Amino acid sequence: MKLTLKEVANKLNSAEKILVTAHVSPDGDALGSTLAMCLALRQFGKTAQIFIDDKLPPYLNFLPHLDEIKRPQEGEKFDADLILLLDTVIDRTGNIRSLTDAPILNVDHHVTNTGTENDLYLEPNAAATCEIVFDLLKEMGATFTKEIATCIYTGIATDTGFFKYQSTTPKTLRTAAELLECDVEPNYISEQVERRTLNDFIGIKHALQTTEMFFGGKVAGIVVDEQLSKIVDTTEGIIDLIRVIEDVEIAFVLTYKEENATKLSLRSKNVNVAEIAKKLGGGGHIRAAGCTFHTNLDEAKETLLKTLGEYF
């Protein structure tokens, strides 16, 4: 059922024990929104705990209270009366559902989220889920501490490419300006997000050497295999290096996660890659989307190229 922002606030106000979660392969928006909501819910005396069923990216280690995020263990249960699901659908949260059978309250900005199975607040015009969280916390009367504001700003900044993507709106910039008034340090955040280890640079060099062109140069792709994944802490940003190649309409990165799990990231200049990702069982934004294949790298690549071939 589609909800208004006020109805979302009322449901959160009525709950006492809240499990907060987001998608696997968490990015700045997923972690920023979950951390901001968890900290705010605790302001109101709620029991709130974040569970993410995946490793957390090292480049976001600076986010406050990141070390409090838990990964669900086999057989573990969490006594909750509500799941607050942010920035995704429940199918992209790994084993989170095994923790509790509490009802789901979903807040998202991805246009591919149909929200047919639970309560949903969807605002596809928002640049990031963190932009929605900002409005939601205002509706709830939360205090915007520096920690909360830093989490929200990070989510908005990373999901907009530091305000250079098409999703950036006047409202996005006004929201960012208000967050700066809460003592957020944009220079510190950008430096932390962009920092890379020497291994990352070496890995990026090797990854770029695997770049392949398809469909007459309209598609550029990189494959990060098992060996390469061991020396690359994060593939964040690699895709943007090939997206800018002249005449490329779609860029992709396929990354080894485990034997039968391959992560796909898609970016485009003008193509609606959310529709392509949706056909592959994923979703996302018009210009940035992805999915997880439950197959090995070779099979995932074959499936992806077949789907892209149908598009072109």
Please check whether residues 38 and 154 belong to one and the same domain. Answer: yes
CATH number at residue 246: 3.10.310.30
Instruction: Extract the tokens encoding 264.
Output: 């796909």
Query: What is residue 229's predicted lDDT score, i.e. its pLDDT?
Result: 82
Q: What span, in angstroms and rounded, lies between the C-alpha atoms of 144 and 150? A: 9
Q: What is the mean pLDDT of residues 274-292?
A: 88
The tens digit of pLDDT for each residue in 54-95 reads 999 989 999 999 999 999 998 899 999 999 999 999 988 999
Please check whether residues 148 and 261 belong to one and the same domain. Answer: no
Query: What is residue 233's predicted lDDT score, i.e. its pLDDT?
Result: 64
Q: What span, in angstroms and rounded, lies between the C-alpha atoms of 130 and 114? A: 19
Please check whether residues 177 and 238 belong to one and the same domain. Answer: no
Which of 139, 167, 193 is the last residue in one of the domains? 193
Which is more confident, 170 or 261?
170
Query: What is residue 200's predicted lDDT score, i.e. its pLDDT?
Result: 79
pLDDT at 165 over 90: no
Q: Please report, for residues 67, 107, 155, 202, 203, the alpha-carbon distance to residue 36 in angstroms, rounded to integers and kept in the order given.
A: 14, 13, 10, 34, 32
pLDDT at 117 over 90: no
Of 111-120, 238-247, 258-267, the least confident? 111-120
Q: Please report, for residues 3, 55, 59, the alpha-carbon distance to residue 234 in angstroms, rounded to integers and kept in the order given.
A: 36, 11, 8
Query: What is residue 234's predicted lDDT score, i.e. its pLDDT?
Result: 66
Residue range(s) defining the domain that contains residue 215: 198-311
Q: What is the mean pLDDT of residues 147-157?
A: 98
pLDDT at 51 over 90: yes
CATH number at residue 73: 3.90.1640.10
Query: What is residue 126's predicted lDDT score, i.e. its pLDDT?
Result: 96
Most confident of 171-180, 220-229, 290-299: 171-180
Q: Are 265 and 237 in contact (CB under 8 A)?
A: no
Nearest to 44 by CA among 120, 132, 129, 137: 137
The tens digit of pLDDT for each residue in 229-251 reads 887 766 677 898 999 999 999 99
Please check whether residues 117 and 228 belong to one and the same domain. Answer: no
Nearest to 177 by CA among 39, 139, 169: 169
Most confident of 71-75, 178-182, 207-211: 178-182
pLDDT at 116 over 70: no
Summary mean pLDDT of the chain? 93
Please check whether residues 162 and 38 belong to one and the same domain. Answer: yes
Q: What is the mean pLDDT of residues 85-111?
A: 94
Q: What is the mean pLDDT of residues 108-129?
A: 89
DSSP string, 151-179: HHHHHHHHHTTTTTSTT--HHHHHHHHHH
Query: What is residue 294's predicted lDDT score, i.e. its pLDDT?
Result: 92
**Domain count of the fold of the chain:** 2
- Torsion angle (degrees, nearest 10) of CA 242, 243, 249, 252: 70
Query: What is residue 238's predicted lDDT score, i.e. its pLDDT?
Result: 87
Q: What span, in angstroms and rounded, lies between the C-alpha atoms of 156 and 275? A: 23
- How deeply is 31 buried, as exposed, middle or buried, from its count of CB atoms within 10 A (0-12, 13-18, 19+)? buried
Fill in the amino acid letter for 76: E
